[in-house]
Homo-oligomer: A and B are copies of this chain.
Amino acid sequence: MKICILGGTGNMGTGLTVRWALSHDIFIGSRSRERAAEMAERLRRLAVGFYQDQMEGSITGLENADAIKASEVVVVCFPPEATIKAVTDLRGNLKEDQILVSTVVPMRRRDKLFYFNSLGGEKGEKSAAEAIQELVEPTPVVSAFQTVPAAYLNNIDAVLNLDVLLAGDDEVALSIVSRLVRDVANLRPLKVGPLMNSKFIEAITPLLLNAAILNGLHDPSIRIVPWMPTP
């Protein structure tokens, strides 16, 4: 597929770019075309070095608007505080038959711990994915990847034996994004219901970070485990 990564010069974006470039055409968007092209070249070299002649995808750097227009799926990897303004500025380039993926985790740090911090303001209690959905209607939004640590994704040697929780209201969009999750080896997509559940997916990330801080874990993520009777 043709996939646009917005905020692709950040950690999450670079990891997804390299992972997907095995079989997909990735368009890294940036406000600066030069910056996008430099990043694309750096990641392209990394991907080609790793995948060698197995690589069927590509990595191209473009200005944000051009990257969106070139793509079927648009993945938003902005920092939470920049998300609303950036999506508002760029939504005019989106079409109804595209799919937007939100990986955004709205949280803030207070003292030494992290807390979910709605982009909808104090009263709104809204998830980032729902706030984005309101901005980009009628393009469907799927919430995904929040609990996958960027450090895992970016270590191309790392085996990602993890679960990715997905929320969304559009079944076709959910199926396509589930497939994209599976295209990262060993990631398992798990649908958990409509987009209104995204808040509780997004809120798992501050819990994981706090678990790491308070219990001495490193880059924690989640795996949903089944019933395991003893043999």
Contacts and interface: CB of A to CB of B under 8 A. Distances in A.
Interface in A174-208: 190-194, 196-197, 199-201, 203-204, 206-208
A217 B224 contact: yes
B221 A155 contact: no
Interface string A139-165: 000000000010110010111011001
Contacts of A49: none
Contacts of A218: 226-227
Interface of A is mostly: mixed
Number of copies of this kind of chain in the complex: 2
A225 B161 contact: yes
Interface residues of A, number: 48
Given A193-B113, A223-B222, A229-B158, A207 B201 contact: yes
A229 B214 CA distance: 23
Contacts of A227: 149, 151-152, 158, 218-219
Contacts of A215: 190-191
A200 B204 contact: yes
A222 B192 CA distance: 14
A225 B224 contact: no
A199 B227 CA distance: 25
A207 B194 CA distance: 10
Contact of A229 (B155, B194, B211, B228): B155
A116 B113 CA distance: 24
Contact of A219 (B115, B157, B214, B226): B226
Contacts of A194: 113
A197 B230 contact: no
